[in-house]
Structure 1
Amino acid sequence: MAILPASYARARPDSLRATPLTHPPLRAHILVAWRTTAPMTPATRALVGHLREAVDTSEPAR
């Protein structure tokens, strides 16, 4: 048993059986970390920029 993205299960209908988890609603805290001792690569800079636009950062990390 594993928790996987729905897209993964849809891509393998012959080998996986998916059961949606609905109760209780799932919530997750996701942490993104990068080195501050080296310059960001362009890909890292783009990802961090997109995440900052898409995610509510008003609540400080714990």
Structure 2
Amino acid sequence: MIIQINSHDALGKLSIVKNYLSVLQSDTSLTDSQKKYIGPAYQATEELIALIKELAMKAKNSQ
């Protein structure tokens, strides 16, 4: 139960980060040097979201 609550909170915050990074990716005022950091950050955020979802599912199934 605690894992599910914490994962829900974390997923909400990570979704905000992911959406903000998505907006930055489409920002035409950023330089290429700035944009090169956004892609990996976005990918890492997606991977973290997937990991948290997987852990929450495993915790739910083990109850």
TM-score by length of 2: 0.35
More relative contact order, 1 or 2 (CA 8 Å, 6+ apart):
2
Q: Give the structure with the larger helix fraction.
A: 2
